[in-house]
Amino acid sequence: MNRFKQWLVKDNNPFRVRYWSPSELHATFSSLIGPTEIFVDGFFSLNPRPSDIDLLPWHYAAIIYFSAFLRYLSKKCIWLTFIADSLWIKSFKMGQSSL
């Protein structure tokens, strides 16, 4: 959503968020660090946190709840990764196994 908005309004602010596709992130982290997995963090904002809901008006809280629901769905529907606004990347140094 945020990337689309930047494109729509032709935002050229040098301090705007730069976006990478999930495949670009995966390729870069895999080549520089090692085996990599990508997980959805959230939708409709950057870093939506359910722990912040008590600080927000109800309509923003509803967005965070919906984002959490979509994050849950993304574990089953991998294509949601490509429209998420925030991603987590988990990489391991080459030759190092996960804990």
Extents of the domains making up the chain: 2-91
pLDDT of residue 38: 95
- What Å distances lie between residue 62 and 38, 49, 50, 52, CA to CA? 25, 12, 10, 12
Q: How far apart are CA 97 and CA 79, in angstroms?
A: 27
Q: How far apart are CA 80 and CA 9, in angstroms?
A: 24
Q: How far apart are CA 62 and CA 53, in angstroms?
A: 9
Q: What is the pLDDT along the chain (99 residues), one digit of tens a residue?
A: 667 777 788 777 776 777 788 999 999 999 999 999 999 999 888 777 888 888 888 888 888 999 999 999 999 998 999 989 889 999 998 766 555
Q: How far apart are CA 42 and CA 51, in angstroms?
A: 13
